[in-house]
Amino acid sequence: MLWRVVRFFLFQLAGGGLGFALAPKAYALHGALGGLVLSSLAWVSIDLWRSHRLLAWLRDAPAGSPIRIGGLWGRLAQRIERSFRQRDQALQDSEARLQEFLAAIQASPNGIVLLNAASRIEWCNQMAASHFGLDPRRDQDQLLGNLVRDPAFVRYVEAGDYTHDVVIPSPTSSSSRPVRLSVQLFRYGQGRRLMMSRDITALEQADAMRRDFVANVSHEIRTPLTVLSGFVETLQSLPLEAPDRERYLDLMAQQARRMQNLVNDLLTLSRLEGSPPPPLDTWVDTRTLLAHCVEEAGSLSGLLSSEPHAISCDVAGPGLLAGAEAELLSAMANLVHNAVRYTPGGGRVEIAWRHLPDGQGEFSVSDSGPGIAPEHLPRITERFYRVDRSRSRETGGTGLGLAIVKHVAQRHGAQLLIDSVLGRGSRFAIRFPATRVREKVSAD
């Protein structure tokens, strides 16, 4: 600022000196005074012109465009320009951080909805949009209560106690695909709220399966234990003849075998769920597997019925199957056992292996049993699910056989296919991918 004053006086001095030198000697003082006035006017004019340019630049120039003017106004313009650049950089940095923050929320597995003080939607991520059937653009600034109308959620919002969550069905839920949401609100800012949603459908289903599993295991074990306890008390309290004692001991042995089979199947399922994937470089001869199945089918048929089943085996060419031999045999044997158990004596059980044109391999078991009604087919591979409970217990089934088959098939990348017509028999097949199947070249 001091230099500006010095320059002003130097400018006046130069104007006055020039007026003094150019004016006649008689009017030298008048010339000097006129030079001072003119130089002052020139200084003010230049200063006003520069300030006008600065104002015009501030008013009309695009953001970030430079300006070149001298003097104090030029230095002021440089400082303003630098301030603008710093402001723009700060805005860009803030915008970048905001976008990173929004991207992080978008990547969240939970739904996030930001609400203003009037309960209107300010922003939501895609997960929340899928949970509540929202459109992030269309539903912005909409009242949340107009879009989520579940009575339990409405009461939760009105109560104002957000220390816990509320579980509601998703607006996108349907009978074929039920979706359950855990929703909780959190206060922040000036009256604003954050709504977080979480899909707990799988958790609730898993919890229900756990409860059903515990209940089923308890029931399956309690029944034979009750029978055993009754027979033990009878043997302890009553004098029995040898034939009666022998009959009771046989019945007790049957119940003990039933519990042993149940424990063995439970251990098999546990081992399948916790073991590493089956190998891709260990090859098992399908003829060997089918031979074991036929042998076990014949033995079981003799135990269950006085009239033997008609058991046939068809192997369309020698083949090799990659996987765990014990698992494959367990799955195939379970299908064969079910076919024999549920087919009346004298019925037909057909075991087959064939190569498909696309390179896949298929193991199948067909029977002439009573068949399965269509409503049972979607659930037949669930643990302990039985179409006919009394029939299963009569034949010694545990209700875990098809669950084991399903697990083994999934572990080997195979499909379990079920085709059944009520009153006309059933066909169960395990279809293995081409990567696990190859033809066996017979040695000449």
Residue 200 has pLDDT above 50, yes or no: yes
- CA dist list (Å): 167 to 150, 158, 181, 198: 10, 15, 6, 9
Residue 73 has pLDDT above 70, yes or no: no
Residue 397 confidence (pLDDT): 61
Range(s) within the chain of domains with CATH label 1.10.287.130: 205-274
Mean pLDDT of the chain: 83
Q: Looking up tokens 């949009």, which residue turns up?
A: 129
Residue 326 has pLDDT above 60, yes or no: yes
Residue 122 confidence (pLDDT): 92
Does the reported pTM lie above 0.75? no
Residue 46 confidence (pLDDT): 73
Range(s) within the chain of domains with CATH label 3.30.565.10: 277-439
Residue 428 has pLDDT above 60, yes or no: yes
Token reading at 184:
């909780």
Backbone angles phi, psi at 21, to 5 degrees: -75, -30
The fold of 205-274 is Helix Hairpins (1.10.287)
Q: How far apart are alpha carbons 278 and 258 in whole angstroms?
A: 29
CA dihedral sign, ordered 214, 219, 222, 224: negative
Residue 57 carries which side chain, given as an amino acid letter?
W
Range(s) within the chain of domains with CATH label 3.30.450.20: 108-199
Residue 328 has pLDDT above 60, yes or no: yes
For the ranges 73-77, 132-136, 276-280, 415-419, the lowest mean pLDDT is seen at: 73-77
Q: Which CATH number, 3.40.50.300, 3.30.110.60, 3.90.79.10, 3.30.450.20, labels domain 108-199?
A: 3.30.450.20
Q: Mind spelling out the 3-state secondary structure of the chain?
A: CHHHHHHHHHHHHHHHHHHHHHCCHHHHHHHHHHHHHHHHHHHHHHHHHHHHHHHHHHHHCCCCCCCCCCHHHHHHHHHHHHHHHHHHHHHHHHHHHHHHHHHHHHCCCCEEEEECCCCEEEEECHHHHHHHCCCCCCCCCCEHHHHCCCHHHHHHHHHCCCCCCEEEECCCCCCCCCCEEEEEEEEECCCEEEEEEEECHHHHHHHHHHHHHHHHHHHHHHHHHHHHHHHHHHHHHCCCCHHHHHHHHHHHHHHHHHHHHHHHHHHHHHHHHHCCCCCCCCEEEHHHHHHHHHHHHHHHHHHHCCCCCEEEEEECCCEEEECCHHHHHHHHHHHHHHHHHHCCCCCEEEEEEEECCCCCEEEEEEECCCCCCHHHHHHCCCCCCCCCHHHHHHHCCCCCHHHHHHHHHHHCCCEEEEEEECCCEEEEEEEECHHHEEECCCCC
Mean pLDDT for 408-415 is 93
Strand partners, 24: none
Residue 424 has pLDDT above 80, yes or no: yes
The residue ranking higher by pLDDT, 284 or 88, is 284
Backbone angles phi, psi at 414, to 5 degrees: -105, 170
Residue 104 has pLDDT above 50, yes or no: yes
Token reading at 27:
């009017």
pLDDT band of residue 202 (cuts 50, 70, 90) is: confident
Residue 102 carries which side chain, given as an amino acid letter?
L
Mean pLDDT for 48-60 is 72
Residue 196 has pLDDT above 80, yes or no: yes
pLDDT band of residue 121 (cuts 50, 70, 90) is: very high
Residue 16 confidence (pLDDT): 67
The residue ranking higher by pLDDT, 285 or 277, is 285
Residue 74 confidence (pLDDT): 67
CATH 3.30.565.10: does it fit domain 277-439?
Answer: yes
Mean pLDDT for 351-378 is 90
Mean pLDDT for 277-282 is 87
Residue 229 has pLDDT above 60, yes or no: yes
Residue 444 has pLDDT above 50, yes or no: no
Residue 94 confidence (pLDDT): 86
- Digit-coded pLDDT (tens) for 143-170: 998 999 899 999 999 998 999 999 999 9
Mean pLDDT for 197-218 is 83
The residue ranking higher by pLDDT, 31 or 425, is 425
